[in-house]
Amino acid sequence: MTDTRQRSFEDNDQKPMGFGRMLRKEDPRFVRGRGRYTDDVQLPGMLHLAILRSPFAHARIVSVDTSAAAALPEVKAVITGADLAGLGLAWMPTLSGDVQAVLATDKVRFQGQEVAFVVATDRYAARDALELIDVEYDVLDPVIDVRQALAEGAPLIRDDLDGKTDNHCFDWETGDADATAAVFAKADVVVSQDLVYPRVHPAPMETCGSVADFDPVEGRLKLWSTTQAPHAHRTLYAMVAGIPEHKIQVISPDLGGGFGNKVPIYPGYVCSIVGSIVTGKPVKWMEDRSENLISTGFARDYIMRGEIAATRDGKILAIRTNVLADHGAFNGTAAPVKYPAGFFGVFTGSYDIEAAYCSMTAVYTNKAPGGVAYACSFRITEAVYLVERIVDCLAYELDMDPAALRLKNFIQPDQFPYMSKTGWEYDSGDYEPTMRLAMELAGYDELRKEQAEKRTRGELMGIGISFFTEAVGAGPRKHMDILGLGMADGCELRVHPTGKAVVRLSVQTQGQGHETTFAQIIAEEIGIAPADIDVVHGDTDNTPFGLGTYGSRSTPVSGAAAALVARKVRDKARLIASSMLEVSVADLEWEKGSFHVKGDPGTAVTIQDIAMRAHGAGDLPDGLEGGLEAQICYNPSNLTYPHGAYICVVDVDPGTAVVKVRRFIAVDDCGTRINPMIIEGQVHGGLTDGVGMALMEMISFDEDGNCLGASLMDYLIPTALEVPDWETGFTVTPSPHHPIGAKGVGESATVGSPPAIVNAVVDALKPYGVRHADMPLTPSRVWDAMRGTAQPP
Ligand code: CDP
């Protein structure tokens, strides 16, 4: 692995007083098997819940007979949709303003939908009892394809919605249709391409689950659950269940990955709460792998037509797209309210163009709900795929090198802040050095020579480029809210008398190393060693309110909150130091961890001395309260816009059409880097995800709506065997509005890598005249592309 342009702090030892490489504080817990996940929670008298799911994609429920199940001695409760309807709990709001059935009452709308649940003394008895529930279904025609869903006379899926007569979910547009049409009309070259981003699943290692413990005497609910957004979930539970918010504690313990899968509120969580209220006991629900794959939030599922207009010499003028978005049976996305298509609006990418336009139609189908931001900032993955694929199609038509085409069209450094043609203000960027570094690390010119030589021998080698700009850190609260909850984040910092500290965050790690990096941010600002700073998160009773972790928003929003709360503490420390050293505040100088008198470094007090004085005997400056702590709620002024240049090298076996990713070079720019080791880990994981999406993963359905990706035997996810040794590098373009200049990075690689891989495979197939092939590029799809027998999307 190659890493260049290391800043000096990155050469520090493993215990930097601030930013730099540092082993993860949480790892001693994890490597010893001492992580505590939701399924590890054991409470006295705890019962177990299992969910009966629909075998059909679309069917009316005629009757549900639970008597045989309820008669089993181990069974403590059997609950149906009708029972929930009696409590007013059969439907719940989704985080995108739709409603979703907790348990089906009228009909089932996707295979795997929740129909009833059993609470029993152990999880095996609960599962066995499901077999005894007799449901009579009246099977209806399923609607699986989005175009079929829009066709005249298509069966109506959402007849639960008043006045609904078709399967439209929403329409959305951005950009300027007329201006874009005018630019297209004058262009020398117009290229259009149909593209499919298939339905994939985040598939975290830990599936979803919860343990609900309702105390009927106090009226208090304690809920351990696999959630990426404990505070937002608590507010929703309060609104739906009518339990006062201050009596609900949501604990999100260690999470075995989230990737967007653990943002929505799932019926299972609500069922466990109902189960506990009904039985008066704690109730655990933990789904199995197939349940996770068939019923929890899927991602993508966009059919896109991309169009690009350019001059003959390769100046990109405009980009236009039309999207059919499959949202499944309920709109279960969790995107800011004003952004029903998430941040797809950044589909103009990293290029300075004259005009852009997107129109989108979102549709209900008889498939699981979702459209979650799987390791991306609300549909940015789809946007980046569209633009980076269509730019390559243009390069193909112009017979131009794809790197040269990109370099010719980048937004220039002096254009930042850059207002895109769809209204996104890119905060900072310097694209060419990033691209050039990737090309240098890859040995781009040499690779092209090698490719040319191999082509003469009939060998299929491909080189694919993707250059992406993301918009991460949702978001300014005036623009962004989820169900009315503004997307700001709280942070509290308390320094104890002995100079150790605890920082409480509203974001929640799912494995990204927050316990380390947030301690590093505080350390950087107030000079207390990361080892002496505890990071508390994932517990609504013990952390300030905030909207949680997804869309790489932790560093842009909560990271800023952490830096600013530390500065508040430092400001107070400065006042105390001035009284301790008997000099004016203006005569003090801060050196990480201590204040000294200007020009006299020997006359100093450390942050630990100050902490003791703040809590101890002796006078404090007039009007200053004791203690050394602060809190903040940070409302970002803008998103941050990280970028990156990825180059992928593949070999395709002409006899079997098997794709091998031989090399992958990833140069990321996420502004100031807090912990380069953690960043590399995030990039490695995201690139591996990218290989999965580009080459292996797809949730598909047969014509009856049976999900064909319901186990990891069918839904293939990549392992170390399918991926190369990642080669990483970086550039640093700080965010001008973030207090430490950091941008998010957690999802950059998942976003940026699929187009690089697809571009590489298509490039390998150039001798066959292939301009495009749809993901996942399995051997059979590559074979079809080579033979010209691929089916249109
Ligand atoms: O929201 P999420 O944690 O998934 O994404 P992120 O904010 O991009 O951060 C992912 C991890 O990378 C965290 O541990 C961050 O602190 C770390 N990171 C970093 O060290 N430097 C950056 N500029 C950005 C993130």
> What is the CA(685)–ligand 1 centre distance, in A?
13
Position 168 confidence tier, pLDDT thresholds 50, 70, 90: very high
The neighbour count for residue 87, using CB atoms within 10 Å, is: 14
Condensed to tens digits (0 to 9), the pLDDT of residues 393-444 reads 999 999 999 999 999 999 999 999 999 999 999 999 999 999 999 999 999 9
> What is the CA(631)–ligand 1 centre distance, in A?
21
Tokens of 276: 């506990």
Statement: residue 9 has pLDDT above 50: no
pLDDT of residue 14: 59
Q: What percent of the chain has pLDDT over 70?
A: 98
Torsional class of 552: left (φ above 0), alpha (ψ -120 to 50), beta (otherwise): left
Position 4 confidence tier, pLDDT thresholds 50, 70, 90: very low
pLDDT of residue 753: 98
> What is the CA(746)–ligand 1 centre distance, in A?
5
| Residue 88 and residue 26 share a domain | no
| Residue 571 and residue 719 share a domain | no
- Residue whose CA is closest, atom 3 of ligand 1? 554
Give residues with Cβ within 8 angstroms of 586, minimum separation 6: none
> What is the CA(226)–ligand 1 centre distance, in A?
20
Position 67 confidence tier, pLDDT thresholds 50, 70, 90: very high
The answer as to whether 8 is a domain residue is: yes
What per-residue string of b and e applies to 139-148 under the rule 16 or more CB within 10 Å gives b?
A: ebebbbbbee
Position 3 confidence tier, pLDDT thresholds 50, 70, 90: very low
Element spanning 29, H or E? helix 27-31
Catalogue the E-assigned strands of 370-435.
418-419, 425-426
Of 380, 555, 641, 683, which is best to mutate to test ligand 1, by the most ligand atoms within 8 angstroms of its C-beta? 555
Helices (H) and strands (E) in the chain, counts: 19, 32
Last residue of a domain, one of 619, 634, 649: 634
Q: Give CA–CA dist 634/542, Å, rounded.
A: 18
Of 374, 682, 748, 750, which is best to mutate to test ligand 1, by the most ligand atoms within 8 angstroms of its C-beta? 682
Q: Which atom of ligand 1 is nearest to the CA of 556?
A: 7
What separation, in Å, do the N-terminal and C-terminal C-alpha atoms of the chain show?
Answer: 38
The answer as to whether 570 is a domain residue is: yes
Last residue of a domain, one of 595, 619, 634: 634
Which residues are near ligand 1 (CB < 6 Å)?
A: 512-514, 517, 549, 552-555, 670-675, 678-679, 682, 742-746
Condensed to tens digits (0 to 9), the pLDDT of residues 624-637 reads 999 999 999 999 99
Condensed to tens digits (0 to 9), the pLDDT of residues 452-490 reads 999 999 999 999 999 999 999 998 999 999 889 999 999
Q: Give CA–CA dist 204/12, Å, rounded.
A: 33
Q: What percent of the chain has pLDDT over 90?
A: 93
Torsion of CA 636, 641, 642, 646, to 10 degrees: 160
pLDDT of residue 5: 42
Of 745, 750, 751, which is best to mutate to test ligand 1, by the most ligand atoms within 8 angstroms of its C-beta? 745
pLDDT of residue 709: 83
> What is the CA(521)–ligand 1 centre distance, in A?
11
Average pLDDT over residues 34-49: 98
The answer as to whether 508 is a domain residue is: yes
| Residue 692 and residue 597 share a domain | no
Q: Which atom of ligand 1 is nearest to the CA of 679?
A: 12
- Residue whose CA is closest, atom 16 of ligand 1? 517
The answer as to whether 607 is a domain residue is: yes
Q: Cis before residue 475, ω within 30 degrees of 0?
A: yes
| Residue 608 and residue 510 share a domain | yes
The answer as to whether 348 is a domain residue is: no
Q: Give CA–CA dist 731/667, Å, rounded.
A: 7
Average pLDDT over residues 510-530: 97
**What's the chain's average pLDDT?**
95
| Residue 724 and residue 654 share a domain | yes
Alpha helix ranges (H) inside 668-712: 676-691
Condensed to tens digits (0 to 9), the pLDDT of residues 292-339 reads 999 999 999 999 999 999 999 999 999 999 999 999 999 998 889 899
pLDDT of residue 181: 98
Query: What's the CATH code of the domain at 724?
Result: 3.30.365.10
Query: What's the CATH code of the domain at 81?
Result: 3.90.1170.50
Q: What is the 3-state secondary structure (H, E, C) of 41-63?
A: CCCCCCEEEEEEECCCCCEEEEE
| Residue 595 and residue 500 share a domain | yes
CA dist 313 → 188, 306, 398 (Å): 9, 20, 8
The answer as to whether 283 is a domain residue is: yes
Position 106 confidence tier, pLDDT thresholds 50, 70, 90: very high
pLDDT of residue 793: 62
Q: What is the reported pTM? A: 0.96
Average pLDDT over residues 191-205: 96
Torsional class of 657: left (φ above 0), alpha (ψ -120 to 50), beta (otherwise): left
Position 617 confidence tier, pLDDT thresholds 50, 70, 90: confident
The answer as to whether 322 is a domain residue is: no
> What is the CA(545)–ligand 1 centre distance, in A?
20
> What is the CA(731)–ligand 1 centre distance, in A?
16
Are 519 and 533 in contact by the 8 Å Cβ rule? The answer is yes
| Residue 120 and residue 248 share a domain | yes
| Residue 618 and residue 534 share a domain | yes
| Residue 589 and residue 690 share a domain | no
Condensed to tens digits (0 to 9), the pLDDT of residues 226-283 reads 999 999 999 999 988 889 999 999 999 999 999 999 999 999 999 999 999 999 999 9
Catalogue the E-assigned strands of 42-188.
47-53, 59-65, 75-80, 91-93, 99-101, 107-108, 114-120, 134-139, 168-175
Tokens of 568: 């508040």
> What is the CA(518)–ligand 1 centre distance, in A?
9
Condensed to tens digits (0 to 9), the pLDDT of residues 707-758 reads 998 899 999 999 999 999 999 999 999 999 999 999 999 999 999 999 999 9
Q: Give CA–CA dist 352/420, Å, rounded.
A: 8
> What is the CA(538)–ligand 1 centre distance, in A?
17
ipTM for this model? 0.99
Statement: residue 8 has pLDDT above 50: no
Q: How many domains does the chain have?
A: 3
> What is the extent of the structural domain holding 19?
4-35+488-634
The answer as to whether 193 is a domain residue is: no
| Residue 436 and residue 517 share a domain | no
Burial of 333 (0-12, 13-18, 19+ CB in 10 A): buried
| Residue 43 and residue 30 share a domain | no
Last residue of a domain, one of 604, 634, 664: 634
| Residue 625 and residue 504 share a domain | yes
| CA proximity to 124, closest of 78, 79, 75, 80 | 75
Position 6 confidence tier, pLDDT thresholds 50, 70, 90: very low
